[in-house]
Amino acid sequence: MANVSHRGDMATHPDISEMRDRYARMLGGRDVALVDGPVFLLGLYCAASPWILHYTTSQPALVTHNLIVGIAIGLLALGFTSAPERMYGLSWAMCAMGVWMIIAPWIVGSGPDTGVILNNVIIGALAIVLGLLCAGTAAKSAPQP
């Protein structure tokens, strides 16, 4: 069996310059934890909010709506983390989902109460702010001509 317990110096690796360049491009000055983490948590809360605030029986259409939109926001966050150079173009879609979350209680719901409205408005406002932060991060890390 081969002895793989020793660690060599990476400076002698033949592809070290390419690996450093790829690592720098991947990070691109992004604050991953400051943007992607809160986006994922917002999606998680959006999906679970009908059960947290107990409006599953009074607003069944909004339950399904918030679950689907929350899953979509969570998937966007996972995409932002795993393939940032391809996914940050969709940060504007997150802003659009935020606007939709704000108006959804009146369009999807039926006579929503103040708690449901406030919940969706806060989720929507946070989605807009985080979407704008993602867009700003993407613009900052885009290669300059």
Listed ranges 7-11, 66-70, 78-82, 137-141; the one with the highest mean pLDDT: 66-70
Give CA–CA dist 79/85, Å, rounded: 10
**103 pLDDT tier (thresholds 50, 70, 90):** very high
CA distances from 45 to 7, 9, 37, 65, 78 (A): 43, 44, 12, 13, 15
SS3 string, 130-144, reads: HHHHHHHHHHHHCCC
For the stretch 6-57, pLDDT in tens is 566 666 767 778 877 776 665 655 555 567 889 999 999 999 999 999 998 8
Assigned token pair, 26: 């991947």
- Which residue is associated with the tokens 């900052």? 140
CB contact burial 23-54 (16+ within 10 A = b; e otherwise): eeeeebebeeeebbeebbebbebbbebbeeee
